[in-house]
Chain A
Amino acid sequence: MAINKMFFAGSGGQGILMMGQIACSAALIENKESTFFPSYGPEMRGGTANCTVIISDKTISSPVIFESDCVVAMTAPSMVKFEPTLKPGGILFLNTSLIHQAPKRSDITIYEVPASEIANEMGNSRIANVIMLGAFARNTDIVTPESVEKVIHDAFIAKGEKIVDLNLKALNYWKG
């Protein structure tokens, strides 16, 4: 029985909430329970964005968490804010393109993904979140990369095959 609690965090415009929603949609494909709770209101206007996501094999009671199994940090302030919530043995994904300071914890697993730089190389700075989501799906047991692929396909198909291909390429780009 697995329950995974996580934060996706970064700044407005990075597609943070979309990362959380895709993770939940992938969980739905796998018949898992999920909850998504975004930060909302004036704090979003200030440029930060984060969401709490829980994915579980059984019914989820509290959608609010005080400790996490996984943190995806797309900016330095979000790493500072959410790194302390990780349980020992937790997983931290860092967008090292924008995070130049080292995390403090030594009891966690860290994946350093230069997501923003890869996105720029691919010619679209807005897909850093999808690159990171690929790293997240392949390096955790929370949702499978196949489910995430399907969600992305279904989410973007209305915008055309080209957009789908770009996103799938981004999803599978970073192999660590």
Chain B
Amino acid sequence: MNKKVLMKGNEAFSEAAIRGGCRYYFGYPITPQNEIPEYMSHQLPKVGGHFIQAESELAAVYMAYGAGAAGGRVFITSSSPGIALMQEGFSFLCSAEVPTVCLTVSRCGPGIGGIQPGQADYLQATRGGGNGDYKIPVFAPENLQEGVDLVYEAMELSDELRNPIFIFADGLLGQMMEPVLLPESREVICPSNIRTQKPWALTGYGADDSQRNRVLSLRMYPEELEQHVEKLFKKYDKAEKELVRYEAIGVEDADVVIAAFGSVARIAKEAIEILAAQNIKAGLIRPISLWPYPYEAFDMITDKTKVVISAEMSMGQMMQDVKLGVRDRFPVRLINRTGGMIPTSIEIAERTKKILEETGGQ
């Protein structure tokens, strides 16, 4: 008996959040993630959870701030321009150390741009647009199973880190269907027991006001704020060491190494097969964590390799990180589509071949 179920990406991610313990979801409609608020609106009440259709993405991220500060397990989602509106909130969530899992089903920009899949929010996700010194771990699945597993895991990780966790999917993953194996439902903390698990949470202190909690973002004195930021960065430094994730295929003896994440990575895998049939060895580095970026993966590349390619659905936003990983050891080139055009495997294969010829490979 195949235990897998055929699900649409957006619905699979939603179900993974619920099974991961999410009981609070706040969202605003935006394509291509609309199935998520729809799913949460009818599924969360069935497990005693709460859904609010927020008046804007700005309100949604602050409902998350409130529910997260109160000790609830929160999931918010949006797509590119909506994530732009949430940026202020991410800075606050980090500053006040409030856990929240946020998923983007990214589309194209700039501006309203288009609703087709895009990856031009790489910098938005990894560098952020909120103010101040903060970091958010970002994970990018290449298929629905990985997306389900990452959302499920992020629910715990966010509580452990007391920091938002960001999942970067795109319109292709959100809209497509494929069979997934859903994880077991986690036990959820009863609201009256939140303090035992999250002693910092706002629950009302009960009889003893020495247990008074405050969730704060403002630090009036520079010394105090500097200390706070340094404390946050100790946490980020640890995350930077522990959360690096990537997949590397055939990198050591490759003529050319392609770096790609998310849905482009799975297209690149097919391109690599096409190239192999033509006796060209192409390796793949697929960052799963976009922050922290797996720079060390690029150290595996040997002198046999002629060129490293960043394949993206953007104008080369990830290429900056690829170059940091390559450290000038090899030339770095870009294969990209943008505006909602999804590269095909044959296109990536042919452009890779051409770049290899230009850089003296074949």
Contact = CB atoms under 8 A, between A and B. Distances in A.
B177 A24 contact: yes
Given A25-B6, A64-B342, A34 B178 contact: yes
A35 B12 CA distance: 14
A63 B176 CA distance: 8
B32 A64 contact: no
Nearest to B345: A62
A62 B175 contact: no
Given A61-B345, A62-B345, A63-B172, A40 B32 contact: yes
Interface residues of B, number: 26
A60 B267 CA distance: 10
Given A28-B2, A33-B179, A34-B179, A64 B171 contact: no
A160 interface: no
Interface string A23-34: 011001101011
Contact of A63 (B31, B263, B346, B347): B263
Nearest to A64: B342
Interface in A111-125: none
B344 A61 contact: no
B106 interface: no
Contacts of A60: 178
Interface string B147-180: 0000000000000000000000001100111110
Contacts of A176: none
Interface in A21-68: 21, 24-25, 28-29, 31, 33-38, 40-42, 60-66
A34 B6 contact: yes
B116 A31 contact: no
A24 B177 CA distance: 9
A25 B179 CA distance: 9
A64 B268 CA distance: 11
Contact of A61 (B2, B176, B270, B342): B270
Interface string A61-97: 1111110000000000000000000000000000000
29 contacts: A24-B177, A28-B4, A28-B5, A34-B6, A34-B177, A34-B179, A35-B176, A35-B177, A35-B178, A36-B6, A36-B177, A37-B172, A37-B175, A40-B32, A40-B175, A41-B32, A42-B115, A60-B178, A61-B269, A61-B270, A61-B273, A61-B345, A62-B269, A63-B172, A63-B176, A64-B172, A64-B345, A66-B344, A66-B345
Interface of B: 2, 4-6, 31-32, 115-116, 171-172, 175-179, 263, 266-267, 269-270, 273, 342, 344-347
